Amino acid sequence: MRTNWASATAIALLVSLSTSAAHAEEVTAWRLFISDHADPKVTVVDAIDGEKLDTLEIKGPASLHRSKSGRTVFAVQGSAGVVAGIVSGICFEDHGEHGDIDVEAPKLAGIEITGKKPSHFVEHDGDFAVFFDGEGVARIIAEKSVLEGKPDFSEVKTDAPQHGVAVDYGSHVLLSEPNREKPDELPVGIRVADKAGAPIGGSHACPDLHGEASSGNILAFACATGLLVVSHGDGSPAIRHLPYADSLPDGKTTTLIGGRGLQYFLGNYGADKVVLIDPTIESDAFRLINLPTRRVHFGSTPFVPSSPTSSPRTASFTDVVKGEIANSLKLTAPYSMDGHWSDPRPRVAVAGDKIVVTDPLQGVLHLVDATSFEKTGDIAVEGKPFDIVSVGGSGQTHGGE
């Protein structure tokens, strides 16, 4: 890949002295939100001292999604037909020369979005779109409404039930196109619609559509033939096809992660590979990374501008700048990759300078120092800790505020 990754990093030294800054206290807070594989609950753990903060009761086992701001977490409960909003209790406010942090108790937001078979959950610019497969309907709500406890969501319908996806994109909505000949199979494309769901223009082909992510100002959908890359166009979204490189072996990406701090995408590619993607170039856009064993799960470090401990270079245990495996460490007993995709298997999250891996069959979280790459301890979690997201960073608090 010929992109000059170093150009994406800037170092600035800012010196500020004021009455408020002189009395500021630097605070670091990280929280882990862990769903259980069998029980309807989300356990909240302080990632710094390992103490349990709360257990939030929900309706069913959930997959978890955190917002980019970190202020909210969502529990998508497919079997229960509901998506529950959670207030993380950690909030950042940017003041230019520094960032303030406000830390409160985590809690359920009191907002539930209901429907048949909720699946894909996508955030774009502070708006969340949940696609309900059993209805072929997307329900959209803003983070501001969730934080205020207001169920102010809109609804956009597609032509048929499908394992689909929707993205609220400014004054438009991007909707998956169902496979009309074989409705039980994956969608075949993306269409642009207005806020009421009326189509604008034709469909953009994306066979076997599954997986989407944002990085910077670019949105991408994974297809059997490559990626659909979406950017802001003249009045409506601009969509182009980025085909897989001829040098890649047979395969496709079905899960995408978007980089923060650096603009890239990381996707799965077969059972024992991942692919690093630069969406800004046409040739050499894909870099294949072979893994030493079958992949169970992968994630990337969320870039938190107010947190000096965050690094956008870590993706799972792979350096995305060099595009190669940097370190390896044995943490769990072997997990079988046979069976259903949702069987209890480890998941990974990054909380500041800690890599956290769930071990559902042992009921623990394994902690790894992200700098030394050595295991530093375990946190016991009752039940089968499964999906996990982290929220946090560093900021200032001011006396008297």
Q: Quick one: 154 exposed, middle or buried, by C-beta within 10 A (0-12, 13-18, 19+)?
A: middle
Quick check: is 208 in a domain? Answer: yes
Considering only residues 243 and 341, tell me which one the structure prediction assigns the higher pLDDT: 243
Banded pLDDT at 262 (limits 50, 70, 90)? confident
Quick check: is 54 in a domain? Answer: yes
Give the integer Cα–Cα distance in Å for 40 and 128. 22
Residue 190 above 80 pLDDT?
yes
User: Which residues does residue 282 pair with via DSSP β-bridges, in sequence order?
Assistant: none
CA nearest to 51, candidates 30, 27, 28: 30
Answer whether 231's CB lies under 8 Å from 248's CB.
Answer: no
Which among 88-97, 275-284, 306-315, 358-367 has the top mean pLDDT? 358-367
Token reading at 218: 């670019």
In terms of C-beta distances under 8 Å and separation of at least 24 residues, what long-range contacts does 198-202 make, across chains too?
Answer: 200/172, 200/236, 201/236
Quick check: is 4 in a domain? Answer: no
Give first-to-last CA distance, the chain, whole Å.
Answer: 49
Residue 238 above 50 pLDDT?
yes
Sequence letter at residue 256: L
From 13-22, 170-179, 372-381, the region with the lowest mean pLDDT: 13-22
Mean pLDDT for 260-265 is 85
Token reading at 299: 């994630």
Tens digits of residue pLDDT in 82-135:
999 999 999 998 766 667 899 999 999 999 999 999 999 999 999 999 999 999
The overall average pLDDT reported for the chain is 86
Question: What string of DSSP letters covers 318-382?
Answer: EETTTTEE------S------S-TTSS---EEEETTEEEEEETTTTEEEEEETTT--EEEEEE-S
Quick check: is 278 in a domain? Answer: yes
CA nearest to 302, candidates 175, 131, 123: 123
Q: Per the structure, how many domains does the chain have?
A: 1
Please count the residues of the chain.
Answer: 401
Residue 287 above 70 pLDDT?
yes
User: Which residues does residue 72 pair with via DSSP β-bridges, in sequence order?
Assistant: 87
Contacts of 13 (CB under 8 A, 6+ apart): none
Instruction: Return the percent helix, strand and coil in the chain, to nearest 5.
Output: 5, 45, 50
Quick check: is 309 in a domain? Answer: yes
Residue 11's pLDDT is: 35
Quick check: is 21 in a domain? Answer: no
Quick check: is 12 in a domain? Answer: no
Banded pLDDT at 14 (limits 50, 70, 90)? very low
Quick check: is 2 in a domain? Answer: no
Give the integer Cα–Cα distance in Å for 386 and 384. 6
Banded pLDDT at 276 (limits 50, 70, 90)? very high
Residue 306's pLDDT is: 36
Sequence letter at residue 354: K
Considering only residues 294 and 272, tell me which one the structure prediction assigns the higher pLDDT: 272
- Please report, for the domain that includes residue 208, its CATH number: 2.130.10.10
Residue 207's pLDDT is: 97
Residue 316's pLDDT is: 40
Residue 401 above 80 pLDDT?
no
Give the integer Cα–Cα distance in Å for 400 and 153. 37
- Quote the strand ranges of 244-347, DSSP E: 256-258, 265-268, 273-277, 286-290, 314-315, 318-319, 324-325
From 17-26, 254-263, 331-340, the region with the lowest mean pLDDT: 17-26
Tens digits of residue pLDDT in 46-73:
999 999 999 999 999 999 999 999 999 9
Give the integer Cα–Cα distance in Å for 119 and 214. 18
CA 372 from centre of chain: 25
Residue 6 above 70 pLDDT?
no
Residue 284's pLDDT is: 86
Domain that holds residue 281: 29-398
DSSP one-letter code for 277: E
Give the integer Cα–Cα distance in Å for 79 and 92. 34
Residue 16 above 50 pLDDT?
no
Residue 183 above 70 pLDDT?
yes
Other CB atoms within 10 A of residue 21 CB:
13
